[in-house]
Amino acid sequence: MKKTVIELFAGVGGFRVGLNNVKFVDGKVVESGEWDFVWSNQWEPGTKTQHAFDCYTTRFGKLEHHSNEDINLVNKDEIPDHNILVGGFPCQDYSVARTLKNEKGIEGRKGVLFWDIMDTIKAKKPAFILLENVDRLLKSPSKQRGRDFGIMLRSLDDEGYNIEWRVINAADYGFAQRRRRVYIFAWSKKTDYNKKIILHKLNEVIHKHGLNANSFPILEIPLKENSIDLSKKSFHDTVEMTSKLSFNFYNAGVCINGEVLTQEVEEITNKSKTLKEIIEKENIDERYFLSDKTIEKFNYLKGSKKIERKRTDGGTYFFSEGGMQFPDSLDKPGRTMLTSEGTTNRSTHVVTDINTGRLRLITPIEAERLQGFPDDWTNTGMPLNRRYFMMGNALVTNVINKYESSLNRIFNSEISSV
The ranges of the chain with pLDDT < 50 are 106-110
Whether the Cβ atoms of residue 410 and residue 355 lie closer than 8 Å to each other = no
Report if residue 233 sits inside a domain. yes
pLDDT of 391-418, one tens digit each? 999 999 999 999 999 999 999 999 865 5
The whole-model pTM stands at 0.94
Is 91 noted as a catalytic residue in this protein?
yes
β-strand pairing of 316-321 with 36-41: unpaired
Domains contained in the chain, number: 2
Report if residue 418 sits inside a domain. no
User: Are 78 and 151 contained in the same domain?
Assistant: yes
Given this model, what pLDDT does residue 27 score?
A: 87
Q: Residue 162: which residues within 8 A CB-CB, separation 6 or more?
A: 186, 187, 189, 194, 197, 198, 254, 255, 256, 257
Distance CA 17, CA 20 (A): 6
Write the single-letter amino acid at 40: S
Domain span at residue 363 reads 275-392
Q: Assign residue 111 a region: left if phi > 0, alpha if psi is -120 to 50, beta otherwise? A: left
Distance CA 56, CA 11 (A): 7
User: Are 310 and 407 contained in the same domain?
Assistant: no
For the chain, what is the radius of gyration of the CA atoms? 22
User: Exactly one of 91, 127, 138, 279 is catalytic; which is it?
Assistant: 91
Given this model, what pLDDT does residue 108 score?
A: 37
SS3 state of residue 182: strand
SS3 state of residue 153: helix
User: Are 207 and 298 contained in the same domain?
Assistant: no
Whether the Cβ atoms of residue 349 and residue 337 lie closer than 8 Å to each other = yes
Given this model, what pLDDT does residue 96 score?
A: 64
Given this model, what pLDDT does residue 313 score?
A: 86
User: Are 117 and 222 contained in the same domain?
Assistant: yes
Report if residue 288 sits inside a domain. yes
Given this model, what pLDDT does residue 102 score?
A: 55
Whether the Cβ atoms of residue 145 and residue 248 lie closer than 8 Å to each other = yes
User: Are 92 and 229 contained in the same domain?
Assistant: yes
Report if residue 106 sits inside a domain. yes
Given this model, what pLDDT does residue 347 score?
A: 96
- In our burial notation (b when 16+ CB lie closer than 10 A, e otherwise), range 96-114 reads beeeeeeeeebeeeeebbb
Q: Residue 286: which residues within 8 A CB-CB, separation 6 or more?
A: none
Whether the Cβ atoms of residue 390 and residue 51 lie closer than 8 Å to each other = yes
User: Are 380 and 249 contained in the same domain?
Assistant: no
What dihedral do alpha carbons 405, 408, 410, 412 form, nearest 10°? -140
User: Are 209 and 281 contained in the same domain?
Assistant: no
Residue 339, number of CB atoms within 10 A of its CB? 17
User: Are 280 and 264 contained in the same domain?
Assistant: no
The CATH code of the domain that includes 229 is 3.40.50.150
The CATH code of the domain that includes 365 is 3.90.120
User: Are 100 and 216 contained in the same domain?
Assistant: yes
Q: Convert 229-291 into a string of H (helix), E (strand) and C (coil).
A: ECCCCCCCCHHHHHHHCCCCCCCEEEEECCEEEEEECCECCECCCCHHHHCCCCCCCHHHECC
Which residues sit opposite 319 in a β-bridge?
Answer: 307
Q: In residues, how long is the chain? A: 418
User: Are 311 and 226 contained in the same domain?
Assistant: no
User: Are 125 and 33 contained in the same domain?
Assistant: yes
Distances (CA, A) of 7 to 96, 120, 160, 165, 387: 26, 11, 21, 19, 21
Given this model, what pLDDT does residue 418 score?
A: 56
Given this model, what pLDDT does residue 308 score?
A: 86
User: Are 243 and 287 contained in the same domain?
Assistant: no
